[in-house]
Structure formats: C-alpha cells, structure tokens
C-alpha cells in the first residue's frame, strides 16, 4: 500500500473534486482517495499489486483534469 500525491491543474468547482474522489474510490485497488480543492491535489492510497500510479493518473486525466506533477 503506498500513498501518492498528484498535483492537478486549478480546480474550479468543489463538485469537480468530489467527482474525481468518487471515481478514484470506485477504482479497484484504491484504498483511500482525497481531493484537496484549494491546493488542487489528489492524495491517493492504493495497492500497487492491483493498480499502478500510471493507471491512477490516467483515470484523473480521463475525467478531464490534467496532472501536473506526481510524488
């Protein structure tokens, strides 16, 4: 289980952050997902044997939010 933080482009509505949160939580292997609206970050804890960091990034970008940095 690891936790990664993804820096996102400026989030414009709190409901967008809930959308990303919802989508990530429904992803298999994701233990916990939290999207910070004001700091525009997604903190995701996941099981690397099921899903990898790149998949998470794809999900966020698939929803239409650019990932600027991950760490």
Among 31, 50, 64, 68, binds other proteins (CB under 8 A): 64
Minimum Å gap between C-beta 23 and other proteins is: 4
Of 32, 44, 42, which Cα lies nearest the Cα of 9?
Answer: 42
Cα dihedral 23→49→31→1 (10° resolution): -140
Residues constituting the chain: 71
Residue 67 interacts with other proteins (CB under 8 A): yes or no: no
Task: Give the residue, chosen from 1, 2, 3, 18, that forms a contact with other proteins under the rule CB under 8 A.
Answer: 18
Residue 23 tokens, joined: 């989508």
- Interaction of residue 37 with other proteins, rule CB under 8 A: yes
**Site residues for other proteins per CB under 8 A:** 9-16, 18-19, 22-23, 26-27, 36-39, 62-64
């Amino acid at each position: 289980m690891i936790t990664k933080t993804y820096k996102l482009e400026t989030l414009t509505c709190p409901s967008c952050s809930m959308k990303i949160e919802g989508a990530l939580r429904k992803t298999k292997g994701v233990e916990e997902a939290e999207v910070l609206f004001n700091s525009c970050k997604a903190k995701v804890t996941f099981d690397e044997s099921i899903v990898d960091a790149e998949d998470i990034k794809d999900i966020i970008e698939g929803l239409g939010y650019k990932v600027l940095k991950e760490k």
